């Protein structure tokens, strides 16, 4: 039994990392997590109780561009229906007093039918994947999503801004560390200027790793390139240190001099929190990543000037911007228990 059940979208690792950040402020509360893929591995490495039950449809990305978004939307509808069956079993077994969903809308529908209180954590209030006739289908999906959001007891948005209705903006939600930057650099043997290249929880960023390696070689910088290829991508190139999957990317970001990443919100927020300069390249056609990248001054086309950006950004002054979103979110959740 668990008083609190988190249903976490396993699409990427950003949802899981911010749920870990929140959970670190809810230590004395029995919690259960439900997710899938690399997200479950992340939760497990933090010692959290997680069930690996979700299998989301993969995006199709070629040369950094999202293909067949409408086909993905249809696959997502099928996945959503499977998630409702999974969440029904979990909620009926645990009978939680509160369900927290990080962009897993199926669990919200089920919890609301069971008269269980619901909190949504999200940084998007509507999607924008499809074009043409597909946008009509997506519009209907967005209306359904809006209805679910309105029925939530609380919606936590990890951004700075105004609150309205049931929506509370708590600021970016990031994981903290108790270690200093010098301690982390020593721990990871970062003896030179260090560039971290991270692509999250899927293999969709392979194009970015390949371009970053190629561009770095051209710079002739006296620096080290460290790859974080994640749980899904296996690289044959051994000319650079590859850490594969890590559960503490925020500490690597803190220790590094520059981070190159896809434009996932959590990685961008961790870079801002720790003051590490970053280059964020979105998947072309992925509306959420393109919007995240625009907010920090990047677009997909910047991948073609990556060499110049690396030289420019690696000596940029650090500018930490500490956020309290995790503790703010945890305090709001605690009030519902």
Asked if residue 318 belongs to a domain, the reply is no
Q: Are residues 15 and 159 in the same domain?
A: yes
- Same-domain status, 244 and 189: yes
> pTM for the complete prediction?
0.92
Predicted local distance difference test score (pLDDT) of residue 41 = 95
Kindly state whether residue 319 falls inside one of the protein's structural domains: no
Cα 309 to Cα 265, 279, 281, 306, 314: the distances in Å are 20, 8, 11, 5, 8
User: Does 126 share its domain with 261?
Assistant: no
Tell me what the mean pLDDT of segment 315-324 comes to: 96
Asked if the structure places residue 98 within a domain, the reply is: yes
Task: Report the Cα–Cα distance between both ends of the chain, in Å, rounded.
Answer: 14
Binning pLDDT at 50, 70 and 90, where does residue 59 land?
Answer: confident
* Residues 32 and 53 sit within 8 Å (Cβ to Cβ): no
Residue 129 lies in a domain: yes
Q: Are residues 195 and 297 in the same domain?
A: yes
Q: How many CB atoms lie within 10 A of CB 193?
A: 14
What's the confidence (pLDDT) of residue 173? 98
pLDDT of residue 235: 62
- Residue 174 is predicted with a pLDDT of 98
Q: Do 105 and 148 touch, CB atoms closer than 8 A?
A: yes
Residue 136 has pLDDT above 70, yes or no: no
- 133: in domain: yes
| Same structural domain, 133 and 191 | no
pLDDT in tens, 251-284: 999 999 999 999 999 999 999 999 999 999 999 9
Domain annotation covers residue 320:
no
Residue 157: domain span: 4-175+325-334
Q: Within this chain, do residues 158 and 263 fall inside the same structural domain, yes or no?
A: no
- What CATH number corresponds to the domain at position 165? 3.40.50.2000
Nearest alpha carbon to residue 157 among 18, 16, 26, 334: 18
The total number of structural domains in the chain stands at 2
Residues 54 and 70 in one domain: yes
91 and 168 housed in the same domain: yes
Shared-domain flag, residues 27 and 145: yes
Residue 272, domain member (yes or no) = yes
Does one domain contain both 119 and 59?
yes
Question: 57 with 204: CB under 8 angstroms?
Answer: no
């Amino acid at each position: 039994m668990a008083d609190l059940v988190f249903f976490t979208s396993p699409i990427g690792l950003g949802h899981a990392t911010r749920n870990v950040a929140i959970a670190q402020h809810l230590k004395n509360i029995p919690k259960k997590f439900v997710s899938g893929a690399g997200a479950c591995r992340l939760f497990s490495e933090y010692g959290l109780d997680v069930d690996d039950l979700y299998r989301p449809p993969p995006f199709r990305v070629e040369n950094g561009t999202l293909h067949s978004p409408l086909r993905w939307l249809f696959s997502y509808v099928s996945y959503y229906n499977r998630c409702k069956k999974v969440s029904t079993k979990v909620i009926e077994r645990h009978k939680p007093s509160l369900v927290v969903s990080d962009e897993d809308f199926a669990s919200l529908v089920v919890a609301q039918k069971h008269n269980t209180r619901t909190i949504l954590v999200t940084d998007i209030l509507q999607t924008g994947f499809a074009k043409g006739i597909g946008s009509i289908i997506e519009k209907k999906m967005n209306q359904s999503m809006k209805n679910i959001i309105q029925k939530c007891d609380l919606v936590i948005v990890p951004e700075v801004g105004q609150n309205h209705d049931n929506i509370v903006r708590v600021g970016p939600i990031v994981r903290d560390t108790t270690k200093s930057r010098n301690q982390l650099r020593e721990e990871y043997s970062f003896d030179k200027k260090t560039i971290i290249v991270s692509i999250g929880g899927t293999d969709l960023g392979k194009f970015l790793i390949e371009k970053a390696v190629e561009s770095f070689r051209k710079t002739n910088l006296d620096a080290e390139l460290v790859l974080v290829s994640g749980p899904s991508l296996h690289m044959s190139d051994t000319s650079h240190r590859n850490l594969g999957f890590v559960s503490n990317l925020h500490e690597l970001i803190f220790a590094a001099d520059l981070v190159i990443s896809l434009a996932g919100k959590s990685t961008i927020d961790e870079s801002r929190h720790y003051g590490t300069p970053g280059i964020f390249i979105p998947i072309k056609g992925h509306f959420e990543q393109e919007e995240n990248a625009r907010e920090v001054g990047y677009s997909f086309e910047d991948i073609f000037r990556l060499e110049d950006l690396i030289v420019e950004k690696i000596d940029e002054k650090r500018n930490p911007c500490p956020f309290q979103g995790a503790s703010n979110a945890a305090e709001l959740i605690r009030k519902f228990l």
